[in-house]
Amino acid sequence: MKAKPRAEIASRWRNFERFFTLSLATTATEREAVYRFRYRMFCEKLGFVETHSLIDRCETDDFDEHSVHCYVTHRASGRIAGCVRLVTVSASTDMP
């Protein structure tokens, strides 16, 4: 597979930045917004997680406290458009 030229990659990033911002969820408020987004996606839209056990409408698990959470915000609406987490592990923690 041929590598894309740097100019093309830079152009795509500038286009992305016109519509979205990329952020780390470093505060409790930001992490809660990510958990609420995950609830809407994984519970309500995709049905991956049962909602009856999540009365706070936040989808969380034991790995969240050992994770770096990132999210994408749609500039025009101010709403979260996507999220991802990097689960960190040590000798005492397992992967999800």
**Which pLDDT tens digits describe the chain residue by residue (96 residues)?**
677 788 888 888 899 999 999 999 999 999 999 999 999 998 889 988 777 777 789 999 888 988 999 999 999 999 999 999 999 887 666 666
Query: What is the spatial distance between Cα 21 and Cα 23, in angstroms, rounded to a whole number?
Result: 6
Query: Is 59 in contact with 35 (CB distance < 8 Å)?
Result: yes
Residue 64 exposed, middle or buried by CB count within 10 Å (0-12, 13-18, 19+)? middle
The model carries a pTM of 0.81
- 75 DSSP assignment: T
